[in-house]
Amino acid sequence: MNRRLAATLVWLAAAPLAAQTPIVTTVLNNGTTQSRYDMVILGDGYQASEQTKFNTDVTTFLTYLFAQQPYATFANYFNVHTVFRASNQSGADQPDVTPPIFVDTAYDSTYNTGGVDRCLYIGDTALGLADAALAPATEGRVLVMVNSTRYGGCASTFAVSYTGGSMSQVQIHELGHSLGGLADEYDYPNDTYTGAEPSQANVTISPTGAKWSHWWGTDSISSTAFEGARYYLHGLYRPRNNCMMRSLGITLCAVCREQIVKLTNSVVDAIVTTTPATAAVTLQQNQVQTFSFTHIVPAANVPLISWRLDGAIVPGAIATSFVLDASTLTTGAHTLTAEVLDQSTFVRNDPSLLMRETHTWNLTVNAPPLAQLRVPAFTSSLVWVQPGNAPTLTVTVRNDGNAAAGPFALEFFLSPSTTAWSTQDIYLGSVPITGLAPGTQTVVVHTPQLPWSLPPAIWFVHAVVDRTNTIAESVETDNSRFATLVGQTGPCVTKLEFDDPLLHPRDFGSMSVAAGGQLHPTVVAPCADPLGTLYVILWGGSGTSPGIPLSPNALLPLNPDGYTDLGLALLNGPELGGFLGIFDAQGLGHATFTLPPAIGLPTATTHFAAVLMTGTELFAAATNPVTLQFVP
């Protein structure tokens, strides 16, 4: 055997196998197979050379199909795939003609199925199903186009049609059976039906057609149904006098269209994308999360959007996105559901809510990672204290939470109470802490000077962590600890300090010239005779050195200037109240400096100092200076 002959024989042996290999093509792709109704079309009785004719027949059918309602409105809901398996011969079996015709086709299509001459159906349904399964997806409703000009068609698992002039209408009629589950509405060959109510939507035993009463008064449908349907002349009724399920060339009636739309929607996922994409979503309780979706409900159907949180409608949520603030939820399991309702005019009765598409996210809300600050230890180097002492305060600050904390402040307040402190108590300053990791601690040392005006009493100095609550904590009630101080009578001193909340150190104050404000200079002279001693607080803006010797016992730490003149001119006026006065029983002289807003005073650093005057000595003593700084 020569090589050319051998090659020819190999080709001849392989050719039938190649011809039988099915060719899968997606001819209409509107979206994922998970979201769309996937229709598969097979061809039978097409030889390999007739694949182009098969493709043309498919295009002709689809063009017609998606021009008819309800398919035109819902065209975007469909994907269409074809599977072409070449037949050895064209056409279909015709056992009812003389002489009978039998041809070798892929699926063994034949007329006269079940003894009905025009019932064209395939014989090899197993191969048909196997080939249909080669497509990306199928909803189980497979169309078969049989390459024959003899009128015919039938439907069961497959919707089968010839390819003659009425091919598209026949195929839509057969789709009504296989896709819509509709009954034939022609009334032969049987006489009277005596059975139970049929399951198909378009036939009934009721002469009034109560089954489709929601369509009465429209589309030539009334409370007087038309007798004759589903192969019976009597006993069964149809909605309209004529419909495509009865005769070709007629549109589908409203009842049939409604059924097709509902069953199509029962397969299609009208919500096609969701964000987040996963159905299970874990949120922290301090988290804000946007949920959204896209859908394919036709705009002409006026899609109605709503959101449900734990089954309850969220008022005002009608967009395709929803922002959920998890802080409004308790920890644990919740559900968030997006809904889009297709308000198609093709559907009036939808008890199973087939026109409503939903997507549910299963939420797990966890408590957010939080810091947990506390003060496990606090000691003072002094227990017995006098005014002006500077005890060393040692504080341990710990973060027992599962999140980092910082930055925050550690502040100190001197209070007469063990259980409470306030910002009106004596402020002993603050120490900034840049941060504290989970499970760690830091030791802070602070040495504040106690006020010179501190009266003898039992005092409690409170170490307070994060007073302003800038750090989110799992517990906010354990952020302080106290140490006990026993105040004693102090030495005979002559001092000046500010007595204002949250001011430390007490010899420095600041004030905005734009906003104005108040400060309270206080003269401290515990040994002064309250009846025979005066004090005067003087003002200067030229520094504190060298000052002015007023007497052997009084060196005024100010350099007189215009501020001094202004202070004397305004002495005990609205701005410098109590700047000249006598001491109370505790040896304190209380004054108030008031700066009106925006009076044009320049920014500068100034100082106050006080002088004591007695009946025996004009200038008996002078105090230390305190700073008053003017800022913009």
What is the Cα 604 distance to its own chain's centre? 53
Give the pLDDT of residue 20: 66
Give the pLDDT of residue 141: 75
Backbone angles phi, psi at 450, to 5 degrees: -75, 150
Span 192-250, pLDDT tens digits: 999 999 999 999 999 999 999 999 999 999 999 999 999 999 999 999 999 999 999 99
Span 352-375, pLDDT tens digits: 999 999 999 999 999 888 999 999
Distance CA 595, CA 514 (A): 10
Residue 6 has pLDDT above 80, yes or no: no
Residue 13 has pLDDT above 70, yes or no: no
* Percent above pLDDT 90 for the chain: 91
Burial class (CB in 10 A: 0-12, 13-18, 19+), 43: buried
Average model confidence (pLDDT) for the chain?
94
Span 68-78, pLDDT tens digits: 999 999 999 99
Q: How confident is the model at residue 422 (pLDDT cuts 50, 70, 90)?
A: very high
Residue 16 has pLDDT above 80, yes or no: no
Residue 1 has pLDDT above 60, yes or no: no
What are residue 539's DSSP bridge partners? 608
Span 18-58, pLDDT tens digits: 346 899 999 999 999 999 999 999 999 999 999 999 999 99
Give the pLDDT of residue 460: 98
DSSP state of 254: H
Give the pLDDT of residue 2: 38
Span 187-197, pLDDT tens digits: 999 999 999 99
Burial class (CB in 10 A: 0-12, 13-18, 19+), 217: exposed
173: nearest Cα among 165, 285, 182: 182
* 0.85 exceeded by pTM: no
Q: What is the mean pLDDT of residues 460-469?
A: 97
Residue 281 has pLDDT above 90, yes or no: yes
| Helix, strand and coil in the chain, % to nearest 5 | 15, 35, 50
Q: What is the mean pLDDT of residues 590-594?
A: 98
Give the pLDDT of residue 288: 96
Answer yes or no: are the C-beta atoms of 58 and 5 closer than 8 Å: no
3-class secondary structure, 76: helix
Write the CB contacts of 97 (distance below 8 Å, at least 6 apart in sequence).
Answer: none
Residue 17's identity, in one-letter code, is: L
Place of tokens 């056409």: 91
What is the Cα 74 distance to its own chain's centre? 30
Span 474-494, pLDDT tens digits: 888 999 999 999 999 999 999
DSSP state of 114: G
Residue 161 has pLDDT above 90, yes or no: yes
Answer yes or no: are the C-beta atoms of 535 and 614 closer than 8 Å: no
DSSP state of 331: S
DSSP state of 435: -
Give the pLDDT of residue 411: 98
Distance CA 518, CA 503 (A): 12
Write the CB contacts of 224 (distance below 8 Å, at least 6 apart in sequence).
Answer: 207, 208, 209
Q: How confident is the model at residue 178 (pLDDT cuts 50, 70, 90)?
A: confident
Write the CB contacts of 468 (distance below 8 Å, at least 6 apart in sequence).
Answer: 409
Backbone angles phi, psi at 229, to 5 degrees: -170, 160
Give the pLDDT of residue 7: 32
Q: Which two tokens stand for residue 381?
A: 């180097």
Span 105-131, pLDDT tens digits: 999 999 999 999 999 999 999 999 999
Span 314-339, pLDDT tens digits: 999 999 999 999 999 999 999 999 99
Burial class (CB in 10 A: 0-12, 13-18, 19+), 435: middle
Per-residue burial over 20-31, b = 16 or more CB atoms within 10 Å of its CB, e = otherwise = eebeeeeebebb
Span 534-546, pLDDT tens digits: 999 999 999 999 9
Q: Which domains does the chain have, with CATH numbers?
A: 3-178 (3.40.390.10), 190-248 (no CATH), 271-366 (2.60.40.10), 373-487 (2.60.40.10), 495-631 (2.60.40.2550)
DSSP state of 405: B
